[in-house]
Chain A
Amino acid sequence: MTKTMTCIVCPMGCQISVAEGEARGYSCPRGKSWAEQEVSKPMRTLTTTVLLIGGEYPLLPVRTQLPVPKSKLMDCLRHANSLRVEAPVEVGQVICPDLAETGVSLIAARTAGGQ
């Protein structure tokens, strides 16, 4: 069975097809490994916001440090929505070490000072 997909690794958006585990149509090694992963276990980086307490902004942008299984995106989101963070926060700071039991941490995506 052949599966065709649009690569999301970079803005080029190559059309990659995978048949019997072999990828075609990629332009870089990252695209090849992404496509191979995509047919077995698709992964996505989640970016969202969490509530920031006492900060200069009401929300802190966060992202998963590594991609998480696409099937667990909504679990990750629900977990992230339950979090509260106190300012100040440094970019890259770990907000949650294990998001929705994925083993992946959620990190701050900007520096936010206190009020």
Chain B
Amino acid sequence: MKADLVVIGGGPAGMGAALEAHRLGVKDILIIERDFSLGGILQQCIHNGFGLHLFGEELTGGEYAQRFIDELAASGIRVLTDTMVMEVDSGWVRAVNTQGVLEIEAGAIILAMGCRERTRGAINIPGTRPAGIYTAGAAQRLINMEGFLPGRRAVILGSGDIGLIMARRLTLEGAKVEAVAELMPWSNGLARNIAQCLEDFNIPLLLSHTVVDIHGTKHLEGVTLAQVDESFRPLPDSRRYIPCDLLLLSVGLLPENELSQKLGIEMDPVTNGPLVDQNLHTSINGIFACGNVVHVHDLVDFVTLESRRAGAGAAAWLRKSYRGQTMAVTPGENISYVVPQRLTLPVQEDVTFLFRVKRPLNKPVFTISTQGEQLLMLRRPVALPAEMVEIKLSPGKIPAGGDITIDCRGEER
């Protein structure tokens, strides 16, 4: 088998990248998806709030995905579902499905495998190991796609958006959510999700709290919650037992890296995804990456925009395989990471920098500079670690050499 462009993953990132490459003239494109249908995680996100940036309306996850699925069907882009990619290297992809092993020659490859959820093992919760403990996303798929309610009385650990959305979803499906516990003194979820998912249903949000024990042998019978101090140490006097038959974990997402690591792609230790340039080109020639496999986004609209840049990058690479000199982009004061991590010269179009702050700040001032010289300054009302910041820099402002640093200074909240 052969294709000019092979896209691994049929979620929002993969579909967006494939469609953009197609629009720019790449005709022979193949998308490989391991699920039996396209759409990725959007399929289980039945809540609304998607697409405000891109389409100016509030769509559900399924509706957002459907627009891309319909466009793909009309485009002639080939799609292989129920197919799992086992290995990738510059110029080829090895996949497997019920037909057997497929060897596919590829002019360019886009990695769009998304991310996976951190599990109990990643945060080391003590206690027994009964049934009834799920990651929030797994429960979301069970409830919204497979019609199975995994419990009637729930505690949710982690107040990221998936945890908040699942608190509401469980309540609507007739379960009682006892509490959402959050280790940090602030929630990593969007303010509107705290309002419409917790406050609307009187579900308590316990900040600086965590699960310190799990009870039950065959099935979960309850959890012990405790408040934590500034160093995240549980305070013994605050321990309390909550009976429940369901514990959902919404404790972070990690880029799905198995293929990228096997391939020996250069990785960013903070994002846990591949290092990319402004065209989403990784360290390996002809291999691009976009969406949550690069860094975990808060909004799917941003995934689509990023994936279009990857599609354009791959299309340009297929026209002319050229790689110029690079300059590093580094996170400075109070910035945890920046994507892209490097720029390939010459820069011909606006560069979109996406990054997160380390801690919440009021009236933040963002600066982009090179060797002490300021290239751009921007003020915002607030900066939160949960909200990705986007800044564009025009090619005229980018120096011919040296490195670029992004800093953020502001008032402590």
Give B111 Cβ to nearest chain A Cβ, in Å. Answer: 26
B195 touches A77 (CB 8 A): no
In the assembled complex, A96 has its CB within 8 A of some CB on chain B? no
A110 touches B62 (CB 8 A): yes
Give A104 Cβ to nearest chain B Cβ, in Å. Answer: 14
B200 touches A70 (CB 8 A): yes
Known: A11-B52, A49-B46, A58-B147. A110 touches B195 (CB 8 A): no
A13 touches B66 (CB 8 A): no
A44-B49 Cα distance, complex, nearest whole Å? 12
- Chain B residue contacts of A10, Cβ below 8 A: 52, 192
Known: A11-B299, A45-B58. A59 touches B146 (CB 8 A): yes
Contact residues of A between 41 and 80, Cβ < 8 Å to B: 44-45, 47-49, 51, 56-59, 61, 63, 70, 73, 77
Known: A48-B172, A59-B144, A109-B60. A91 touches B196 (CB 8 A): no
A56-B35 Cα distance, complex, nearest whole Å? 13
- Chain A residue contacts of B52, Cβ below 8 A: 10-11
B192 touches A47 (CB 8 A): no
Which chain A residue shows the least CB distance to B47?
A47
Known: A11-B299, A58-B147. A44 touches B196 (CB 8 A): yes
Contact residues of A between 4 and 20, Cβ < 8 Å to B: 5-13, 15
A44 touches B62 (CB 8 A): no
A58 touches B200 (CB 8 A): no
In the assembled complex, A37 has its CB within 8 A of some CB on chain B? no
In the assembled complex, A102 has its CB within 8 A of some CB on chain B? no
Contact residues of B between 181 and 223, Cβ < 8 Å to A: 190-192, 194-196, 199-200
B60 touches A47 (CB 8 A): yes
Which chain B residue shows the least CB distance to A63?
B60
A109 touches B195 (CB 8 A): no
In the assembled complex, A111 has its CB within 8 A of some CB on chain B? yes
- Chain B residue contacts of A61, Cβ below 8 A: 46, 60, 62, 144
Give A26 Cβ to nearest chain B Cβ, in Å. Answer: 13
In the assembled complex, B326 has its CB within 8 A of some CB on chain A? no
In the assembled complex, B145 has its CB within 8 A of some CB on chain A? yes
A13 touches B190 (CB 8 A): yes
A49-B45 Cα distance, complex, nearest whole Å? 11
A49-B37 Cα distance, complex, nearest whole Å? 18
Number of interface residues of A (CB under 8 A): 29
Give A51 Cβ to nearest chain B Cβ, in Å. Answer: 8
- Chain B residue contacts of A111, Cβ below 8 A: 66, 69-70
- Chain B residue contacts of A15, Cβ below 8 A: 191
Give A110 Cβ to nearest chain B Cβ, in Å. Answer: 4
In the assembled complex, B407 has its CB within 8 A of some CB on chain A? no
Give A87 Cβ to nearest chain B Cβ, in Å. Answer: 13
Give B12 Cβ to nearest chain A Cβ, in Å. Answer: 14
A49 touches B147 (CB 8 A): yes
A48 touches B190 (CB 8 A): no
A29-B28 Cα distance, complex, nearest whole Å? 45
A47 touches B48 (CB 8 A): yes
A56-B67 Cα distance, complex, nearest whole Å? 19
A3-B36 Cα distance, complex, nearest whole Å? 48
- Render B87-116 as a binary contact track against A, CB cut-off 8 A, 1 for contact: 000000000000000000000000000000
- Chain B residue contacts of A7, Cβ below 8 A: 192, 195
B195 touches A13 (CB 8 A): yes
- Render A84-100 as a binary contact track against B, CB cut-off 8 A, 1 for contact: 00000001000000000
In the assembled complex, B43 has its CB within 8 A of some CB on chain A? yes
A69-B398 Cα distance, complex, nearest whole Å? 52
Give B263 Cβ to nearest chain A Cβ, in Å. Answer: 33
- Chain A residue contacts of B190, Cβ below 8 A: 11, 13
A104-B200 Cα distance, complex, nearest whole Å? 21
A77-B46 Cα distance, complex, nearest whole Å? 14
A73-B197 Cα distance, complex, nearest whole Å? 13
A44 touches B200 (CB 8 A): yes
What 7 A-B pairs have minimum CB-CB distances, sorted nearest first? A13-B191, A110-B62, A6-B195, A61-B46, A8-B192, A109-B60, A13-B192
Which residues on B are within 8 Å of A, measured CB to CB?
36-37, 39, 43, 46-49, 52, 58, 60, 62-63, 65-66, 69-70, 144-147, 172, 190-192, 194-196, 199-200, 298-299, 387
Extra pairs beyond A49-B147, A58-B146 (7, CB < 8 Å): A6-B199, A13-B191, A59-B145, A63-B63, A91-B63, A109-B60, A110-B60
Question: Can you list 20 A-B pairs, Cβ within 8 angstroms, ordered by A?
Answer: A6-B191, A6-B195, A8-B196, A11-B49, A12-B192, A44-B196, A47-B47, A47-B48, A47-B60, A49-B147, A56-B36, A56-B37, A58-B146, A58-B147, A59-B147, A61-B60, A61-B144, A63-B63, A91-B62, A110-B62
